[in-house]
Amino acid sequence: MTKRRVITIVCDSLGVGELPDAKEFGDEGSNTLGHILRDRNPSLPTLARLGLLHTLPAPATNDAPISAFGRMNEVSAGKDTTTGHWEMMGLVVTDPFRTYPDGFPADVIHEYEKRIGRKTLGNKPASGTVILDELGEEHMRSGAPIVYTSADSVFQVAAHEDIISPEELWRICAIARELMRGEHNIGRIIARPFTGTGKGHFKRTANRKDFSVKPTGETVVERAHKAGKRVVGLGKIADIFDRVGIDEEIRTESNSDGMRKTIDLIRESDADFIFTNLVDFDSKYGHRNDVVGYAKALETFDGELAELLTNMRADDLLFITADHGCDPTDVSTDHTREYVPLLVAGPSITQQTPLGTRDTFADLGATICDYLGLPSADLPGKSVLPELPR
């Protein structure tokens, strides 16, 4: 008998319909997956077989899935990446991270400029691609990094790789992380390096790096690590948990790169917990209101997922979920407050198993603990393992 292993894939931003409190977040009517299906009707045979289309408010197919499927409600006070990932790993965020809809206070920017020895540009909420066209050329002339935020709890710093090297950008973002604590505690500092010759030609690179706030309590990631389980984080997973509990960090350049590396790990690694974030859904398509690109990315993922499933061992359990929504048909470019899917698959699950609406994202973490033999009684979530056919 092989040892039990968990693979968790977060399709960043793949929400499946507005939460009951969506109106309070300005997200009434949001439905990331539902609206993509409505507008583009992508072919998703593997995800349909796993039950994804049955997690929507109204099932988008009459075909019966052969897997376990449901949706999860977010109880944390937020709709950002850090909050979503922390809750799914058993850490509910009751005190939301600070947001800055009017930009950062002048005294914060002044102190930041003093610490990094450079003036800055921007300091306002903006789309990451739009602000590069607006300020990228001025940045290249002046050497001043571009600081901006969004509706989420982020302090983003953009710089051209020929003007400020990625390593130097990471250094000044680490300074921002130290600054944005206490009164100005913010979820993430994000380094946004880019290249290109001028307006209309700028392109963000894979040298992005996130500097998250350290988890305020023990997560399932840390619990698994402390129990001697080997935890591998792919994509921005290590960043989100500030590397607490992560045994190995693997950077990825795209969704497909993340899937290739995840499949390689499944084939070759002795890891107990493989945790992958696929950020392109959010950063390249959701935030850019690119419905066509999002639909194509889902089709590509669907094919890669089929390959992953054929490489799973007998005692592997695969979870597919999301951390929030980012409806590309919405008038804004921000995250949306939505339910997220919970798909559970593996060689041992061969029949339709509806899991309903879960009370919290933390049900995922509780299930992982249950499957790996870790204590979970003190976690906010409820394991779905007893509901699975075994």
User: 172 is written with which tokens?
Assistant: 């000044």
Residue-wise pLDDT for 41-100, tens only, equals: 999 999 999 999 999 999 888 888 999 999 999 999 999 999 999 999 999 999 888 999
Same domain? For 305 and 374 the reply is yes
CATH number for 189: 3.30.70.1250
Give the end of a domain, one of 172, 194, 212.
Answer: 212
Distance CA 169, CA 239 (A): 16
Residue 18 DSSP class: B
The answer as to whether 39 is a domain residue is yes
Supply 267's token pair: 């084939």
Q: Are 318 and 372 in a shared domain?
A: yes
Treating both helix axes as pointing N-terminal to C-terminal, what angle do 166-179 and 106-116 enclose, rounded to 10 degrees? 130
Cα separation of 197 and 199, whole Å?
7
In a domain, 191, yes or no: yes
Those residues with Cβ within 8 angstroms of residue 110's Cβ, 6 or more apart along the chain or in another chain: none
**Euclidean distance between CA atoms 20 and 33, whole angstroms:** 17
> Would you say residue 259 lies in a domain?
yes
Q: Please answer whether residues 36 and 298 qualify as being in contact, where contact means their C-beta atoms are separated by less than 8 angstroms.
A: yes
Long-range interactions of 370-374: CB distance < 8 A, separation 24+: 371/4, 371/6, 371/317, 372/4, 372/6, 372/224, 372/227, 372/229, 372/272, 372/273, 373/4, 374/220, 374/223, 374/224, 374/227, 374/229
pLDDT at 64: 87
Q: In this predicted model, what pLDDT tens digit does every residue of 310-362 receive, in sequence order?
A: 999 999 999 999 999 999 999 888 999 999 999 999 999 989 999 999 999 99
Same domain assignment for residues 169 and 225: no
Domain-ending residue, one of 212, 229, 248: 212
Sequence-distant (6+) residues with CB within 8 A of 194 are: 132, 136, 158, 159, 160, 161, 202, 203, 204, 205
Same-domain status, 40 and 11: yes
**Reduced to 3 states, what is the DSSP secondary structure of residue 134?**
helix
What pTM did the predictor assign?
0.89
Q: Which of 192, 212, 232 is the last residue of a domain?
A: 212
Asked if residue 373 belongs to a domain, the reply is: yes
| CATH, residue 83 | 3.40.720.10
What confidence score (pLDDT) does residue 62 get? 82
DSSP string, 307-362: HHHHT--TTEEEEEE-SSB--TTSSS-S-B-B-EEEEEE-TT--S-EEEEEES-TH
In a domain, 261, yes or no: yes
The segments of the chain whose pLDDT lies below 70 read: 1-2
* Cβ–Cβ < 8 Å for 156, 128: yes
pLDDT for the residue numbered 152: 83
Residues 249 and 358 placed together within one structural domain of the fold: yes
User: Three-state DSSP class for 172?
Assistant: helix
121 and 267 share a domain?
no
Q: Report the number of secondary-structure helices (H) and strands (E) in the chain.
A: 12, 14
Could you tell me if residue 101 is inside a domain?
A: no
List the structure tokens of 179: 């600054």
Whether 181 and 230 map to the same domain: the answer is no
| Residue-level pLDDT at 2 | 66
Per the DSSP assignment, residues forming a β-bridge with 250 are: 234
Q: How many whole angstroms separate alpha carbon 53 and alpha carbon 243?
A: 33
Mind giving me the DSSP string for 184-253?
G--SEEEEEEEE-SSTT--EE-TT-EEEEPPPSS--HHHHHHHTT--EEEETTHHHHTTTTT-SEEE--S
How big is the CA angle at 343 (ends 375 and 345), to the nearest 5 degrees? 80
> What is d(CA 229, CA 241) in angstroms, rounded to the nearest whole number?
17
Please indicate, yes or no, whether residues 145 and 162 belong to a single structural domain of this protein.
Answer: yes
- Is the same domain home to 230 and 82? yes
Residues 223 and 185 in one domain: no
Task: Indicate whether 168 and 270 sit together in one domain.
Answer: no
What Å distances lie between residue 176 and 186, 192, 213, 216, CA to CA? 10, 13, 11, 19
Residue 100: inside a domain? no
Pair (199, 225) in one structural domain:
no
* Number of domains within the chain: 2
Torsion sign (Cα): 369, 78, 241, 340? positive
Q: How far is CA 384 from CA 34, 72, 206, 335, 369, in A?
A: 25, 12, 36, 27, 11
Domain that holds residue 115: 106-212
Q: What is the pLDDT of residue 129?
A: 84
